[in-house]
Amino acid sequence: MNPLQPPSFSWGDRTYIMGVLNVTPDSFSDGGQFDSLERAIAQARALLKAGVDILDIGGQSTRPGAETVSLQVEIDRTLPVIEAIRAQVSDQVVISIDTTRVEVARGAIAAGANWLNDISAGRFEPAMLELPAELGVPIVLMHLRGTPQTMQSLTQYDDLLGEIAMVLLQQAQQVLKAGAQPEQIILDPGLGFAKTYEQNLEILRGLSQLRALGYPLLVGPSRKSFIGKILDQPDAQKRVWGTAAACCGAIAAGADILRVHDVAEMHDVCRVADAIWRQHSRNSHGIINTPA
């Protein structure tokens, strides 16, 4: 399966949904729910039925303070799931590998994944930025300061949106320098990663500033703590409608992809929000095709 072909992603026509499939025991809101092959396959089927466009497979928790697992553990968690989804669920759905490690990324693409999703934007392992050109795959570059262990102490910004834009553009330039095409790059401001409650809201209000950079924009507000603070809801799995509101705001500001846990509910949210805000709007930021 050629990683750039079907389905096609025509930015601006509608909002695309990336469904979270964490095959970890310790992710912040669904840790342990899908960390067996059978449960992961069942969840992949459920997400596909609910209308997901991209399945994002992650084997390393990135919650604040999460412990880093060994390379082999991450490989053992993710590659069998990708292979099983391709063999048993769908040979068409786009699969993204959520990793900061080059070896995991290479293995995942060989196993059937189509996209790379790196929360460090290639800062942890700079060779990650060479893979889009080498393997012919898109990459999501997310803004993060420090590591999941240290990020919540690194939230001082002089110009929040400006600094996020600067870092993401610098990393995007490295991807292009390695030989990739602009159409292979998606940017993510990193809600909740080295961001305070107030800063997360500022990012959502100012998404159009990041959208103006000219790349498709992915936003991941799903179940995050800033929503829990607003709702006074400590249980992440009970933040679905708060997530829906954040998703509406992101769509209104121009987000192209939403990374969410509750795909069925957010699928309805996207359909209505798209009817309101995208009915007469199109853009020219390109098409990512994911042909077999």
Q: Which residues are catalytic?
A: 224, 259
- The tokens for 10 are 């025509």
> Could you count the other beta carbons within 10 Å of the beta carbon of residue 36?
12
DSSP 221: -
Closest CA to 200 of 165, 250, 235, 166: 250
Determine contact, residues 201/157, Cβ cutoff 8 Å.
no
CA 226 – CA 109 distance, rounded (Å): 33
Judge contact between 40 and 254, C-beta under 8 A.
no
> Buried b vs exposed e over 86-108: b needs ≥16 C-beta within 10 Å?
beebeeebbbbbbbbbbebbbbb
| H or E segment and range at residue 250 | helix 240-252
Number of DSSP helices (H) and strands (E) in the chain, helices first: 10, 10
Q: What is the rounded CA–CA span in Å between residue 185 and residue 82? A: 22
Peptide bond into 132 cis (omega under 30): no
